[in-house]
Amino acid sequence: MRSVYFQRPLEYQLLTESEEWHQGQRVRGSLRLKNIGTEALSAQQSMISLGHALKKDIKAGEANWHVYGELSLDFPELSSGQDHLIRWEMPLPSDCPITDKSGALHLLFGDENALEQGGRIDLQVVLHPMLQSFLQTFTTQFKFLEKYRKFSGGWTEIKLIPPDSGEFPSLDELLLNLKMVEERMELWYVFRLKGLTRDGESLKARRKKKEVEQALGADSYELPGVFPNRSLFRERIDEALAVARLGI
């Protein structure tokens, strides 16, 4: 991905090595600074910030950036027409926001005021590979259907609809919340149940919410060769789903 920003007499050109990144991955790229003026320029300091904001706020020009990381790059003196390139890398936190319909992480670049006035590239950030493997186990082994995923309150929230097999007659929907904190996988299931209860001689609709929390360490969810322990994933999912099988 490539973005160019002009702040005369300077031209900034930011380039990233990929178009998609996983939570916890290192974003790599380069920043090229060019003197497009007619006079020589002294040494310059440029900034690259990793920030998240809501798309509607960005569109309205009122972005409130939550900064997850910053880089300071020192460029040498540049004569007229001369450019200089610096390669850089920046880690994405393992629990950083994924890209969804409402917001995205951006690389903001320029001088020390890059957050307010500078160039930017929006990053396509997807789930941490281990979290994606966990979710895939859920949808393939237990036949749940994913309706959406979004970043909310520090978690990736995924709405899942139960299968039509009749195994979960009281389960209306499941909100599966995932995040990787350093190397600990945290799981938070929110089951929304429905059913009928007797009120005298009539039946009354009833709804109830049940929650289950789990945490897995890297020594358990990661097999040699950095492969996901899908057997463990199935066990933990099945344990959580026991709450839904009980009904209201």
Give me the sheet containing 155-161, strands edge to edge.
145-152, 155-161, 171-181, 184-199, 202-216
Average pLDDT over residues 32-37: 95
User: Which pLDDT tens digit goes with each residue over 145-188?
Assistant: 999 999 998 999 999 999 988 888 889 999 999 999 989 999 99
Band of residue 206 on the pLDDT scale cut at 50, 70, 90: confident
Contacts of 28 (CB under 8 A, 6+ apart): 16, 17, 18, 87, 88, 89
Instruction: Say how many C-beta atoms besides its own lie within 10 A of residue 142's C-beta.
Output: 17
- Going by the DSSP 8-state scheme, the letter that residue 63 receives in this structure is -
pLDDT at residue 198 tops 80: no
Predicted confidence at residue 208, as pLDDT, reads 87
pTM for the predicted model, two decimal places: 0.88
Predicted confidence at residue 182, as pLDDT, reads 87
Contacts of 219 (CB under 8 A, 6+ apart): none
To which H or E segment does residue 137 belong? helix 129-141
Band of residue 203 on the pLDDT scale cut at 50, 70, 90: low
Average pLDDT over residues 202-225: 87
User: Which pLDDT tens digit goes with each residue over 66-96?
Assistant: 999 999 999 999 999 999 999 999 999 999 9
pLDDT at residue 229 tops 90: yes
Predicted confidence at residue 166, as pLDDT, reads 81
pLDDT at residue 27 tops 80: yes
Q: How far apart are CA 94 and CA 107, in angstroms?
A: 17
pLDDT at residue 204 tops 90: no
User: Which pLDDT tens digit goes with each residue over 108-135?
Assistant: 999 988 888 899 999 999 999 999 999 9
Band of residue 196 on the pLDDT scale cut at 50, 70, 90: low
Q: Which amino acid is at 117?
A: Q
- Going by the DSSP 8-state scheme, the letter that residue 146 receives in this structure is E
Q: How far apart are CA 124 and CA 106, in angstroms?
A: 9
Q: What is the mean pLDDT of the chain?
A: 92
Which domains does the chain show, CATH number per domain? Answer: 2-126 (2.60.40.10), 129-246 (3.90.1150)
Q: How far apart are CA 62 and CA 8, in angstroms?
A: 24
Predicted confidence at residue 194, as pLDDT, reads 85
Average pLDDT over residues 41-46: 93
Average pLDDT over residues 53-78: 93
